[in-house]
Amino acid sequence: MTTEPTRDRIVRVAREIAEADGISAVTLRAVGTAAGVSRAAPYRHFRDKSDLLAAVAEDGLRRIQHALQSAGKDSDDAKARLDAALQAYIARARAEPAVYTLIYSADLATDEHPELTRAGLDAYETFVGLIDRVLHDRAASKTAASKLWAATHGAITLTLAGHGTKEKGLDDITDLLRQLALDILAP
């Protein structure tokens, strides 16, 4: 049996509190208490709340990257794998909406948290790689990835904010993004 490292437990518990009670409920003391460690323990791993939230966001990005990498990995069909990755990305956002919102929050200055910037770039590069398997042109793949990444984020953000309505054409963002991907990737 392996024991979860204290830092990882603190990040996990902070994520759980954020999802249950909102980001504002995440404090170093509350997380320490809920994690079953001393109230001082979180301060040994994180400078302040912003540092802890950056770690939660970084973890969220790593989980998104893992979902992108794992989705459809047994398929030889590059388009099917990209479709599975889009579905996995949407599923991650829906499973942890508070963390997803935190990841793209203006409250986290990425220049203060280079590990968060790195995690974001790694997730994005995974996405570019999936598109490059379809287009086989790195420059075109980066352009297509930027368009699709922005559209995916926009559709998810609107949906999480309660604007995913049929009247706006956002009731089924999976289908919307699938169609957009086909448009972007069309020759």
* Contact (Cβ atoms closer than 8 angstroms) between residue 98 and residue 156: no
Domains for the chain: give ranges and CATH numbers. Answer: 1-46 (1.10.10), 56-185 (1.10.357.10)
pLDDT the model gives residue 112? 87
pLDDT the model gives residue 28? 95
Give pLDDT tens digits for 51-97. 999 999 999 999 999 999 999 899 999 999 999 999 999 999 999 99
Give pLDDT tens digits for 6-42. 999 999 999 999 999 999 999 999 999 999 998 889 9
Q: pLDDT grade, residue 107 (50/70/90)? A: confident
Distance from C-alpha of 109 to C-alpha of 113, rounded to nearest angstrom: 7
109: left (phi over 0), alpha (psi -120 to 50) or beta: beta
Distance from C-alpha of 73 to C-alpha of 60, rounded to nearest angstrom: 20
Q: pLDDT grade, residue 103 (50/70/90)? A: very high
pTM of the model: 0.93
Helix (H, G, I), strand (E, B) or coil at 145: helix
pLDDT the model gives residue 2? 58
